Amino acid sequence: MSRDAVVRIAALDVRRSPSHPSELKSQLLMGERVRILSAGRKWSKVENQADGYRGWVREWGLLHLSASEAGEWERSAIWRVGRSHLELRAGPGRGAIVTPIFWNSPVAVDRFEGSSARVRLPDGRHGWTERRFLRRADRPATSLDQVVAALLGVPYLWGGRTPLGFDCSGFVQQVLASLGTAIPRDAHEQFMAGRGAGQRRTPRKGELVFFGRPGGRMTHVGISLGRGLVAHAQGTVHVSSLIPSNPLYDRALAGSLRSFRRP
């Protein structure tokens, strides 16, 4: 069996063990490339090539390819979904739904027709969407504030990595991905990969803000919007303040502040 695969469904759950009741660790997006670590008839253990994250997924969500085929997909999939989710249609602005697809998913574009784009999926299917809903991978989103504003209210989901539900580190990872910065999947690994921010008392805009118990691992992460404001996923995606005089002040959050770092 090929040791390479590409995700073929909108969101593929990554579980701690090969069982549906097992803990949801993360999710993979359509078009992401994985390496097969252990293949089975129903479940396979995979590693996300982008961030090295590992877990078990159902085989139905994978398209097995040769290394050259997977590489060719990556070279052609230079576009990213630029809004929370799309419904790709059989024709420009009309027709049956081909598939839903989520924010930041990599896709290839075969051609543009006016304001529409014909999108090619990893398994060879095609669907249409509006050109303005896509962005080139080498052209990051316009601003951190706009990205966060579009995600306010998204519910918290342990292991979530789509705008249907984020956990804290999944939210931060995907926000930064839209801005052109790749970081690890989990909060503590994001902390370890970050760069020191000096001895300042408050984080600068765009820095990652980490929380947890003294002496332990980082258990929560948000992203600074400047002026003591932190966007994070806790209950929902929302903005809290670390400054007591601000109406958005979160005493428990501020009390567990451990560090802030540049991604």
**Which of 221-247 are b and which e, b meaning 16 or more Cβ less than 10 Å from the residue's Cβ?**
bbbbbeebbbbbbbeebbebbbeeeee
pLDDT at 189: 97
The DSSP line for the chain is --SEEEE-SSEEEEESSSSTTS-EEEEEETT-EEEEEE--SSEEEEEETTT--EEEEEGGGEEEE-HHHHHHHHHH--EEE-SSEEEEEEETTEEEEEEEEETT-EEEEEEEETTEEEEE-TTS-EEEEEGGGEEETTS--S-HHHHHHHHTTPBB-TT-EETTEE-HHHHHHHHHHHTT----SSHHHHHHHSEE-TT-SSPPTT-EEEE--TTS---EEEEEEETTEEEEEESEEEEEESSTTSTTB-HHHHHTEEEEEE-
Model confidence at 2, pLDDT cuts 50, 70, 90, reads low
| pLDDT over 70 percentage in the chain | 98
Asked whether the predicted pLDDT for residue 251 surpasses 70, the reply is: yes
Question: Cα–Cα distance between 221 and 202 in angstroms, integer?
Answer: 15
Asked whether the predicted pLDDT for residue 198 surpasses 80, the reply is: no
CATH number of 144-262: 3.90.1720.10
Mean pLDDT, residues 200-207 taken together: 89
Every domain of the chain and the residues it spans: 4-74, 77-136, 144-262
Give the tens place of pLDDT for each residue, 65-74. 999 999 999 9
pLDDT at 201: 77
Q: Do 167 and 158 form a contact (C-beta atoms < 8 A)?
A: yes
Give the tens place of pLDDT for each residue, 88-141. 999 998 999 999 999 999 999 999 999 999 999 999 999 999 999 999 999 998
Superfamily grouping for domain 4-74:
SH3 Domains (2.30.30.40)
Q: Do 73 and 107 form a contact (C-beta atoms < 8 A)?
A: no
pLDDT at 200: 74
State the CATH architecture for 77-136. Answer: Roll (2.30)
Question: Cα–Cα distance between 125 and 71 in angstroms, integer?
Answer: 18
Strands 106-113 and 116-120 come out as: antiparallel
The residues facing 63 across adjacent strands are 6
Give the tens place of pLDDT for each residue, 98-111. 999 999 999 999 99
Domains 4-74 and 77-136 share a fold: yes
Contacts of 242 by beta carbon, 8 Å cutoff, 6+ apart:
202, 209, 228, 229, 230, 249, 250, 253, 254, 257
Contacts of 252 by beta carbon, 8 Å cutoff, 6+ apart:
none
Asked whether the predicted pLDDT for residue 142 surpasses 90, the reply is: no
Provide the whole-model pTM: 0.95
Model confidence at 168, pLDDT cuts 50, 70, 90, reads very high
pLDDT averaged over the chain?
96
Q: Do 11 and 28 form a contact (C-beta atoms < 8 A)?
A: yes
pLDDT at 1: 56
Mean pLDDT, residues 71-80 taken together: 97
